[in-house]
Chains A and B, each alone.
Chain A
Amino acid sequence: MNEFVQYLVNGLTIGSFLALIALGYSMVYGVVRLINFAHGDIFMIGAFAGFSVLTTIGVTGGMALPAVLAAVVIGALTTGVVGTGIARVAYTPLLKAPQLSLFIAAIGVSLALQEGVKVLTDARFKSYPNALDGGQILGGSVRVTYGQLVLVVLAVVLMAGLWFFITRTVTGTAMRALAMDRDAARLQGINVERLILMTFFIGSVLAGAAGVMYGLYYTQISFGMGFLIGLRAFTAAVLGGIGNLPGTMAAGIFIGLVQSFSAGYISSRWTDVIIFALLIGVLALRPTGLFGERVVERA
């Protein structure tokens, strides 16, 4: 039983990162019908950005909450800028081109980011300082650290923030409208092109934040970390229904739990096989995802 709870706790932590990344996939797909293949690598960029912040500040250990927050905020914003820049330069020229071209360009960007960071880091992994070393909250057979608590709270705050933005602000509502009917949105005076870039920005900020949090949790980061995690997050987005934000959040947590439980009860070697099998199964049975795409497809 204690095992179960431990896996649950770990799964929720991982799941909250995955949810943040998955939201980025979902939002971007909602407005431009593009699976941003490079999104997982944006997450990776965030991890490295946060690392730079922490090393610049000079954190070595202990419970350095202000430094952590600074790393998350600055790392996330930097990633937001990078993600938006990439969208502007590499994707915008291809919006009118056949869909395949845009997707392949995203693959190219993904590879470029990975290889670029590989060169800059000499293909070696970096280690985050243990900046959330606050010990355990619950003792005994179930281990929950302060660090975990901080991260989950942070993730929840971000998701709540996003939810508030999307549902309670005019701009957020306009973003939702954009995903439903682009021309009708234009007719209300909405600058569609600018809003699309904003969507990329927000998605990248979320992924960047997740990257920093991942670094704080797992400490080891490397240039290739975005690939598999990106795919897991994508699975979550599909499961939750691309374009369906609450669904995506829930699915992100779910995939985190799947990852944790399969690692615990079976073996971490088979985790990804299970997750991919889930992805393929869902798409095979329901080509529009589990909860249906929140976007209408013209036949």
Chain B
Amino acid sequence: MTALLEVSGLTSRYGQVEALTDITFEVAEGEIVALLGSNGAGKTTTLRTISGLHRSHAGRIVFDGQDISRLKAHQVVTRGLGHVPEGRRVFPALTVAENLLLGAYQRRRDRKYVAARREEIYEMFPRLDERRGQLAGLMSGGEQQMLAIGRALMHRPRLLALDEPTMGLAPQTAQQVLGVVRDIRDQGTTVLIVEQNAHQTLRLADRAYVLESGGIVLDGTGTELAQDPRVKAAYLGGDPIIESPA
């Protein structure tokens, strides 16, 4: 299986701070790949760089055989790469229906497609169907997350990148969200998911990479990493990399 997304040697900076150093990984079609790591590890920066919100300093991003490293964000979307950003970022003063409408902005001229696709999304997310006219800003965190995902699905991306979809959600809701992610993959969309919540994500993912301080330190299948004590160390410092001061 050729990789749908290939990232090689990706280096990214914020001002003079190097946020990502030489990141290399790939996602094959039909997979769920997870990027794990604690905060500040560089997970969000990786996604933002891939989807074009942030300029990379060095390295290549190849999607579906095309180099998208220098494309602007709205052009990356056209290529079929959707991104559900951290914190959901629904448009708070727009309704559910309007939010979804914008998800298909690239195909706005095809009214039939947009209307039909929106109905499909409502079928997938009954909660959204019940709340078509509600302002997105007034919905609960879980509902907003569903909306953000539905919005990203409106233009039928081949790969969907999700940034911490379970953040701030109660455990039960988080489970639901991850269930939705599995359904999305089963329906044919490749998934790249970034999460802090390692255990549940590793049960879901086919493969995963662990980031720390801007670099990839571990990788393996979901099952392998779920039992690997080094994952816990990467988060909670079981293996101190620095000696304590005297």
Give the B-binding residues of A (Cβ under 8 A): 170-171, 173-174, 176-177, 180-181, 183-192, 294
**Given the contacts A170-B108, A183-B53, A183-B85, A188 and B93 also touching, CB distance less than 8 Å:** no
Segment at the A interface, from B2-10, B94-102, B122-130, B220-228: B94-102
Contact of A170 among B78, B91, B105, B151 (CB under 8 A): B105
Closest to A171 in B: B108
Give chain A residues whose Cβ lies under 8 Å from the Cβ of B215. Answer: none
Contact of A183 among B89, B98, B106 (CB under 8 A): B89
**Given the contacts A170-B101, A170-B102, A294-B93, A189 and B78 also touching, CB distance less than 8 Å:** yes
B residues contacting the other copy or chain, number (CB 8 A): 27
Asked if B91 and A184 sit within 8 Å, CB to CB, the answer is: yes
Give the A-binding residues of B (Cβ under 8 A): 51-53, 72-74, 77-78, 82-83, 85, 89-94, 98, 101-103, 105-106, 108, 151-152, 155
Give chain B residues whose Cβ lies under 8 Å from the Cβ of A189. Answer: 74, 77-78, 105-106, 155
Contact of A173 among B73, B74, B77, B98 (CB under 8 A): B98
Give chain B residues whose Cβ lies under 8 Å from the Cβ of A294. Answer: 93
Asked if A187 and B94 sit within 8 Å, CB to CB, the answer is: no
12 A-B pairs besides A173-B101, A185-B102 with CB distance below 8 A are A174-B105, A176-B91, A176-B94, A177-B91, A177-B102, A180-B91, A183-B73, A187-B51, A187-B53, A187-B85, A189-B78, A189-B106
Closest to A184 in B: B89
Give chain A residues whose Cβ lies under 8 Å from the Cβ of B91. Answer: 176-177, 180-181, 184-185
Give chain A residues whose Cβ lies under 8 Å from the Cβ of B52. Answer: 186
CA distance A192 to B101 in the complex (A): 17
CA distance A184 to B86 in the complex (A): 10
Asked if B94 and A177 sit within 8 Å, CB to CB, the answer is: yes
CA distance A173 to B103 in the complex (A): 11
CA distance A174 to B105 in the complex (A): 8
Closest to A294 in B: B93
Asked if A188 and B94 sit within 8 Å, CB to CB, the answer is: no
